[in-house]
Amino acid sequence: MVPLPEVWRVLRRLSLGQIWMLVLVNGLVLVSMSGRWWLILRGQGYGVPYLTLVGYRLAAFGVSYFTPGPQFGGEPLQVYLVGRHHGVPNSTGIAAVTLDKLLELLVNFSFLVAGLVLVMQQQIFSRSIGSLLTAFGLGLLALPVLMLVTLGSGRTPFSSLFRLTDRIILHKFQRQSLARVAGYQKAVGIVLTSERQASRFCRQQPGTLVLALLVSLLSWGLLVLEYWLALYFLGATLTPVQTIIALTAARVAILLPLPGGLGTLEASQVLAMQLLGFDPAIGLSLSVLIRVRDVLLGGLGLWWGGLKS
């Protein structure tokens, strides 16, 4: 248990200039994270202004952050906003957001696996726990990799799935109303068209996907820099390896099915600082900074999304 006066003591180390520097770096992170989506939409023939997409993504973050679960939920809002304000068909919007999310997960889970490998090398946990965590990370990483490989090879897994379940579902709906059948068929049609578009995009524009992947790496570099700077300003100078280990703990906490990793994020940072030999109050102070930042950004996103909806 970290006493609150200790947390306040650590937070008071922050100067106004340091706070503004963290705001600046976080702004760069936010702007860079829309690069993938912008590139994919542009490759599909829709030149939506970049900063407009930054606002839409912030609105989606607001929905995802306050939704129970591991940072998902705002994607339908992204599809809706580009459709309403820029004439992007729903099928095209779904394809773009799907590819954007797959690339995001690919980089996120790759970082997670790398971090867990470092945790094992540092022998912070027992070998069995480390192996279990690494296997968990590899399992997560396999999901976006397999999906991208499948789409890139021209196969459409959702189309195959719907062909298997179509008769059962349509038979059930027909017992209730023809309107439900029509609604189901329309929704399935949009999903299947989106899948074909995503598959075609992967095969015809691999260069755009590679560029989007590089943008993702840039975003992660800025994210690591922001995290290291925050700890440095709070009084903990971490090595690159220590920074990745502590940030990995935060990413694992956020994956848990709680809004914004509520409680788990704080516990992960306190534990990470203790294991790395730093004052645990620094970990809780960092969690306070992260929480304040994300709540403000999430609230701003919800407000902005409400204006645009």
Return the pLDDT at 258.
65
Half-sphere exposure of 73 (CA within 13 A, CB side): 18
Per DSSP, the residues of 205-270 read: -HHHHHHHHHHHHHHHHHHHHHHHHHHHHHT----HHHHHHHHHHHHHHHHSSSGGGTTHHHHHHH
Q: In the numeric block, which tokens belong to residue 280?
A: 């645990």
This prediction has a pTM of 0.87
Can you tell me whether residue 287 is helix, strand or coil? helix
Give tens-digit pLDDT for 222-272: 999 999 999 999 999 999 999 999 999 888 888 776 665 677 888 889 988
Q: Domain spans of the chain?
A: 4-308
For residues 177-214, one letter each, b for 16 or more C-beta atoms within 10 angstroms of the residue's C-beta and e for the rest, the string is eeeebeeeeeebebbbbbbbbbbebbeebeebbebbbe
Q: Is there a contact between 280 and 268 (Cβ–Cβ < 8 Å)?
A: no
State the CB neighbour count (10 A cutoff) for residue 43: 18
Q: Per-residue confidence at 70, pLDDT binned at 50, 70, 90?
A: low
Return the pLDDT at 72.
67
Return the pLDDT at 259.
61
Give tens-digit pLDDT for 43-54: 999 999 999 999
What single-letter amino acid sits at 79? V
Determine the straight-line distance between the first and last CA of the chain, rounded to whole angstroms.
Answer: 43
Mean pLDDT of the chain: 85
What does the pLDDT average to over 142-147? 89
Give tens-digit pLDDT for 202-212: 999 999 999 99
Per DSSP, the residues of 106-150 read: HHHHHHHHHHHHHHHHHT-S-HHHHHHHHHHHHHHHHHHHHHHHH
Distance CA 304, CA 94 (A): 21
Give tens-digit pLDDT for 8-38: 899 999 999 999 999 999 999 999 999 999 9
Give tens-digit pLDDT for 77-93: 999 999 999 999 999 99
DSSP-derived secondary structure letter, 70? S
Q: Is there a contact between 234 and 285 (Cβ–Cβ < 8 Å)?
A: yes
pLDDT at 126 over 90: no
Give the rounded percent of residues in the chain with a pLDDT score beyond 70.
84
Give the rounded percent of residues in the chain with a pLDDT score beyond 90.
50
Can you tell me whether residue 49 is helix, strand or coil? coil
pLDDT at 178 over 50: no
Return the pLDDT at 165.
63
Contacts of 232 (CB under 8 A, 6+ apart): 238
Q: Is there a contact between 266 and 284 (Cβ–Cβ < 8 Å)?
A: yes
Give tens-digit pLDDT for 94-122: 999 999 999 999 999 999 888 888 888 77
Backbone Cα Rg of the chain: 21
Q: Count H helices and E strands in the chain, helices first.
A: 13, 0
Distance CA 40, CA 205 (A): 9
